[in-house]
Amino acid sequence: MSDASLYRILRCPRTGASLRPATSAECDRARGLTADPVSWEAGLIAEAGFVFYPIENGIPMVVRERAIVLEEEGKEPR
């Protein structure tokens, strides 16, 4: 299964929204919001654009506990 095929079937466990690959800027923003050692190389972001999930060693960490909230739904980005 290709990455693109996988992204089409994955959903955000918080919102149910589709996920897409995060941009470099979104990855940098997520890194700035976490106190955990940053061991991920990329990430996925909910289509609404406010929940980020890291990809570690090629594995998407799409679980609520690993979500990094970039902004609250309906609010302006911080």
Q: Sorting pLDDT into bands at 50, 70 and 90, what band is 41?
A: confident
Q: Is the alpha carbon torsion for 72, 51, 8, 28 positive or negative?
A: positive
The residue written with tokens 């693109």 in the block is 4
* pTM, 2 dp: 0.81
Please check the confidence at residue 78 and state whether its pLDDT lies above 50: no
pLDDT above 50 for 77: no
pLDDT for res 23: 92
Q: What is the mean pLDDT of residues 16-35?
A: 89
What pLDDT score does 76 carry? 44
Write down the domain spans for the chain. 3-69
Q: Residues 50, 70: contact at Cβ < 8 Å?
A: yes
